[in-house]
Amino acid sequence: MRRLLLLSSSVCHGTEGFMGWCSDIVSEYLGKEVTRVLFIPYALFDYDEYTSAPRNKLKQLGYEVDGIHELENPVQAVERAQAIYIGGGNTFRLLKSLYDHGLVDVIRKRVLEEGVPYIGSSAGTNVATVSICTTNDMPIVYPPTFDALGLVPFNINPHYIDPEPNSTHKGETREKRINEYHMYADRPPVLGLREGSCLYVHGNKAVLKGSSGAKLFKPKAEPVEFASSADLSFLLE
């Protein structure tokens, strides 16, 4: 039974520090059965520096953290992990690294077939979906494909920002970019996940958590707003 916690971001305005806004959610999600978490920092360049933030925070919550780069064999590290946490950064760099290290299939198997808890944040949430086609990031490197882990059958746009009616900015809004993606009618739904929100998936059940809600986009349809605690299980069908 798959268990996913897909965070829009690890930090949020108005809250203190790394995971300050979601510490209780993470603790509830991991529970007491998990004691060690495997952190994958591939989305950023300095793995050691990046790993220190989740290591320090999760230690406060009662969990030890292993950086996958600190272990000899990345594939074996995933195969033995009690829980997997993929952090944010550049989504293209992250997905390329997952393919380079041969981790896409093994992560998918561990999560979907063996029920290993998965936490994603920002880019780590992007790669949990069908593809990285709705990321906000620039393609600084070239993954072999945009196809991602496919742990859920839809896409997510983390850090979603609503159009500002009084803005003088004439560039495309996030909503317009997603609508451009949906010019192709065969594309999956896109959940615009605002900072301070996350999606909790347990089996075939999906619930929106956090304080800021989300907006759902589908081809040839008006976007639909969802508040915290909304049941989004229909997205898993």
Indicate the DSSP class of residue 188: P
Residue 137: name the closest of 101, 88, 97 by CA. Answer: 88
**Alpha carbons 24 and 132: distance in angstroms, whole number:** 28
**Alpha carbons 69 and 138: distance in angstroms, whole number:** 24
Per the residue annotation, which of 8, 10, 137, 182 is the catalytic one? 137
Indicate the DSSP class of residue 227: -
**Alpha carbons 117 and 32: distance in angstroms, whole number:** 12
Per the residue annotation, which of 8, 9, 97, 122 is the catalytic one? 122
Catalytic site includes residue 137: yes
Per the residue annotation, which of 23, 66, 159, 233 is the catalytic one? 159
Question: What are the beta bridge partners of residue 86?
Answer: 40, 120
DSSP of 42-75, one letter per residue?
TTSS-HHHHHHHHHHHHHHTT-EEEEGGGSS-HH
Catalytic site includes residue 13: no
Catalytic site includes residue 9: no
Q: Which residues are catalytic?
A: 122, 137, 159
